[in-house]
Amino acid sequence: MTTEAVAAPRGRSEAVIRARILQAIFERRLPPGEKLTEDRLAELFAVSRTVVRQALARLAQDGIVEHHPNRGAFVAAPSRAEARHVMAARAVVEPEVAGLAACACEAGAATRLRHHLAAEDAARASGDRAALVRLTGEFHVTLAEIAGNPVFARLLTELQALSSLAILLYARGEHASCPPHEHAAIAAAIEARDAETAMRLMREHIAHVGADMDLVEPAARRDGLADALGMPPRRDLNRPRPARSGPAG
């Protein structure tokens, strides 16, 4: 793990450690399977290992960190089934969040959305992939904050982190962030306080994000090594052999 991935002002709480790890995941600087060493994190954040352990435990509860006995903590590597569950949860939650945001959108919230979209456009134009990935994920959390529901905001933060990990593992081609222009259309519906359209567009948007990942389980092989080497599978040595005919020797 690099220092740049999680370095932060010293002496901060476990909440800050969690936030910085999540940000590094959003920006694809902490990949699935990356080891999170307690001693190194404690050094970077100038805190005790107990504080680091608390931060990692909370991330583990959210499915973002995995603990392996005798090996330590690692950034989660969600399976295809887990990735499908994440996208199914987003498909249920996020259209509702978009509708609530449309109902609650005031002038200040509309300005906030326009500024956010401008930042996405600037990152896209400059080729700043890390910033674009982070901003497109933050867009979804921003909608929950505009909707005024902190529970949704926390949930979407977790779902976005898991989505980022799933995209790293299962993306088709160069897919790296939300499809362009779709956020602008959702934001326009929210600013117009058109909840129905905002919900429909979000539903379509989540479907597009999911379609850009290969989440179909590969076909099971009877004998993986034999198939890989182009050889017939070995005879089952434990199978009883047929009795010999003829006189016993």
- Angstrom distance (rounded) from CA 249 to CA 247: 6
Residue where a domain stops, chosen among 28, 46, 75: 75
Domain shared by 61 and 124, yes or no: no
User: Is residue 23 one of the residues assigned to a domain?
Assistant: yes
Residue 58 inside a domain? The answer is yes
Q: Considering the domain boundaries, does residue 190 fall inside one?
A: yes
Burial 11-37 (b: 16+ CB within 10 A, else e): ebebebbbebbbbbbbbbbbbbebebe
Residue 203 placed within a domain: yes
Query: What pLDDT, in 10s, does the model give residues 78-89?
Result: 999 999 999 999
CATH of the domain at 182: 1.20.120.530
- The whole-angstrom separation of Cα 87 and Cα 159 is 8
Structure letter (DSSP) for residue 180:
T
What are the pLDDT digits (tens) for 43-88?
A: 999 999 999 999 999 999 888 999 998 899 999 999 999 999 999 9
Is residue 2 helix, strand or coil?
coil
Domains contained in the chain, number: 2
Question: Are 13 and 126 in a shared domain?
Answer: no
Residues 112 and 206 in one domain: yes
- Helices within the chain (DSSP H only): 3-6, 14-26, 38-45, 49-61, 80-104, 107-126, 129-147, 150-170, 182-191, 195-211, 224-229
Mean pLDDT of all residues belonging to the chain:
85
Give tens-digit pLDDT for 5-37: 444 444 458 889 998 998 888 877 888 999 999
Q: Are residues 19 and 122 in the same domain?
A: no
Say whether both 56 and 118 belong to one domain. no
| 63 and 84 together in one domain | no
Kindly state whether residues 108 and 49 are assigned to the same domain: no
Do 70 and 101 lie in a common domain? no
Q: Which domain holds residue 122?
A: 80-211
225 domain residue, yes or no: no
